[in-house]
Structure 1
Amino acid sequence: MSSLSQEKQAILLESGTNELEIIEFQLRKQMPDGQEKIAHYGINVAKVREIIKVPETTEYPNAHPSVVGIFNLRDRLIPLVDLAHWLKIPVHDDLQSKRVIVTEFNKMFNGFLVDSVSRIYRISWENVESPSQFLESRESDCVVAVVRMENRLIMILDFEKIIADINPEQSMERYDVSLDKRILQDEAMVSRRQAKTLLVVDDSAFIRKLIETTLRTAGYNVLAAQDGAEAYDILMEFEQTAKSEHQPISELVSLLISDVEMPRMDGMHLVKRLRERDAYADLPILMFSSIMSEENRRKALAIGANDTITKPEIGRLVELADKFIFGH
């Protein structure tokens, strides 16, 4: 499995079908008694550019301990991350049999060293479960979803969180809206924002917290949901409340900010279902995703999103929220 075609990567976003394709890969944990325990993981095909044999690498000074080095692929320098090292899983060190998953997301290329890659599965997001609250409450958790297969569980990892830990200079954590001179932050504007409620939907607790902090610092009230299904339930309750109290939906929620890849119901499917309802025909919707290519942006706009943001651009969130809520 070398290069992945654009058509295959586009399957994820076939305009709200609520389906995705994942690549399953393995890490072979070496147990103290000499036995191996195979752990199964997954990554969305939309994040993957190709899968290669382990390349020659060059050590990079002062790199994160999980970075093996950098390698050259098609005139691009790419860091190689030892995924097992980052996950603190002891594995065998025979590089001959290992593979590298080359990814592109958040406008960055990275290589992830894994023990083996098995196959691609096309599944419905309805069959992808959120990890338990117990797992998510741990700061270190990096599992955003779990896929139940017949004889095993496949853990979908939070690759954005892993890269943010390895390369903090590129992380959205560095953004501080209170220092952003482009954002109006006088008392009157903050007061106007305080009267508005935004719903943020993202399956990564790490990214959800960053978005919430940015919006709240600017003054907005923020509600959060961990996947499209939870967001849909919240919005249906709002619709009932608005109906019974004879008030517009905008009194309860002024803007939706949604990720694309999420368990149970993805962002595209959420938008598609909301736009089919009169109550949500005019709700401003921003899609905030690490895989927002031009093609995916076009599809998001076609099903009813007002605008899209690629995840490193967290600095555009308040600016766009102001635009769609207040018209400036």
Structure 2
Amino acid sequence: MSNLLNAVNQRTNLAGQNRFELLLFRLNGPQPFGINVFKVREVIQCPQLTEMPGSHPCVKGIAHLRGEPVMVLDLAEATTGKGIGKTENAFVIVTEYNRSVQGFLVSSVDKIVNMTWEQIKPPPQGAGKSHYLTAVTEIENKLVQIIDVEKVYAEIMPVDEEVSDDTKAKSQGLALDKILVLVADDSAVARNQIKRALDSIQVKSELVKDGQEALDWLRNKAKEWGETMTQRVPLLISDIEMPRMDGYTLAAEIKAEPALRPIHIILHSSLSGVFNEAMVKKVGADQFIAKFHPDELLTAVNHWLAASQHA
């Protein structure tokens, strides 16, 4: 299994080409699930876990990986209510999300497949709000469900969404009544976190679910509002990994169109690493911020809104 991910760093050239690689795994049965390889640090056979008294029922314990304590969550129990059970033959997908490292317990890990974001579709309409999917796709005639690990993690380990008074004060000198910030993210949890942060400084927002929807919305508003469009929508906050069109491709498309080019772009993602900073410059985005710290995000929002109003 160690060979499965030993070339993750070499895969970063897929970013910005609307391509990525999906790690397939299973929980309690034949249904295949997927997670973006860029979220994954390693896949290991489940080690001996140290129990955490009083922890959430989905927390199976602490794994000690090369001296680093890593919390292990039972992904099956978190999403279906039925846990993996015995861990002797299970695997742990070690991920980096929300500026921390955690492990997700799964029953088996299959393989990595090369995909384009265009092949990834939103969950079917009518799925309701209680599901844990960000997207679905089809591989070898089988439906693969891509789990919203942000929602899973937020329910088990809620983040602090409190915005400091100092951060709120920094937005008071800005003209906010006639502007709108566009937010693109395939995770409902992430979209609502950003919206609540923007609401706290009285910034209106428009929420969309993927890069293609964001680009279509911007193009339509450019036709409707003309030259005033980028004054009314001076900032985009976008996730990187999204169905149909990723955030890198979205940024590059925006900067390629003169009518949209003045829009400032913050890429806001659970993905991290040096390659993000390089890709920010390559696609013309203004800043990369790892999820989710409301003060840091709003400090950037204040900066780029001020830059647009003083241009």
TM-score, normalized by length of structure 2?
A: 0.92
**Cα distance, 1:116 vs. partner?**
0.7
Query: Could you tell me which residue of structure 1 aligns to residue 161 of structure 2?
Result: 175
1:286 aligns with 2:271: no
Aligned to 1:75: 67
Q: Distance in 2 between matches of 1:134 and 1:314?
A: 31
C-alpha distance in structure 1 between counterparts of 2:168 and 2:274, whole Å = 26
| Cross-structure match for 1:35 | none
Q: Indicate how the Cα distance of structure 1 residues 86 and 266 shifts in structure 2: closer, same or farther if over 3 A, else same.
A: same
1:216 partnered with 2:196: no
Partner of 1:32 in structure 2? none
The change in CA–CA distance for 1:70 and 1:220 in structure 2 (over 3 A counts) is same
* TM-superposed deviation, 1:167: 1.6
The SS at the match of 1:223 is: strand
Tell me if structure 1 keeps the 8 A contact 2:76–2:84. Answer: no
What is the distance in 1 between the residues matched to 2:36 and 2:84? 25
1:323 counterpart = 2:303: yes
Listed one character per residue, the Cα deviations across residues 283-309 of structure 1 (whole Å, up to 9, x for unaligned) are 110000001322212212221010111
Give the drift of 1:214: 1.0
The CA deviation at 1:89 is 4.8
| 1:109 alignment partner AA | V
CA contact (8 A) 1:12 1:19 kept: no
Q: Please say if residues 288 and 308 of structure 1, whose CA atoms lie closer than 8 Å, have aligned partners that are also in contact.
A: yes
Are the aligned partners of 1:292 and 1:308 in contact in 2 as well (CA < 8 Å)?
Answer: no
5 Å-filtered alignment, 1:1-328, equals: 1-2=1-2, 7-9=7-9, 11=11, 14-29=14-29, 38-90=30-82, 93-135=85-127, 137-138=128-129, 140-168=130-158, 171=159, 174-177=160-163, 179-184=164-169, 189=173, 192-243=175-226, 247-327=227-307
Q: How many angstroms does 1:7 deviate by?
A: 5.0
| Structure-2 change in CA distance of 1:100 and 1:287 (3 Å) | same
How far apart are the structure 1 equivalents of 2:85 and 2:103?
17
Residue by residue over 1:171-226, the C-alpha shift from the partner in whole angstroms, topping out at 9 and shown as x without a partner, is 1xx2223x43233268x547x22221110000001110110111122111111110
Write the letter of the residue equivalent to 1:27: L
Whole-Å Cα distance in 2 between the matches of residues 322 and 249 of structure 1? 19
| Gap change, CA 1:85 and 1:149, over 3 Å in 2 | same
CA distance in 2, matches of 1:88, 1:47: 22
SS, match of residue 213 in structure 1: helix
**What is the aligned-residue RMSD (CA, Å)?**
2.1
State the alpha-carbon separation in 2 of the partners of residues 10 and 141 from structure 1: 33
Equivalent position amino acid for 1:84 in 2: A
Return closer, same or farther for 1:193/1:4 CA change in 2, 3 Å cut-off: farther
Asked whether the equivalents of residues 4 and 48 of structure 1 are also in contact (C-alpha less than 8 Å), the reply is no
Q: Deviations over 1:232-275 (max 9, x none)?
A: 110111222234xxx33323311011000000101001011111
Give identity over the alignment, percent: 33
Match of 1:277, SS state, is coil
Residue in 2 aligned with 1:34?
none
Structure 1, unpaired ranges of 5+: 30-37
CA contact (8 A) 2:92 2:104 kept: yes
Matched pairs, number: 308
Equivalents in 2 of 1:89, 1:55: separation in Å? Answer: 23
TM-score, scaled to structure 1 = 0.87
**Offset at 1:13?**
5.8
Relative to structure 2, which stretch is displaced further, 117-126 or 75-84?
A: 75-84
Amino acid at match of 1:28: N
Find runs of 4+ consecutive structure 1 residues off by over 4 angstroms. 3-7
1:273 to 1:57, Cα distance in 2 relative to 1, 3 A? same
SS in 2 for 1:87: helix
Whether contact under 8 Å (1:60, 1:70) holds in the other structure is yes
Runs of 5+ in structure 2 lacking a partner?
none
Q: 1:232 to 1:6 in 2, by over 3 A?
A: farther
Q: 1:93 to 1:134 in 2, by over 3 A?
A: same
CA distance in 1 between counterparts of 2:166 and 2:89 reads 51
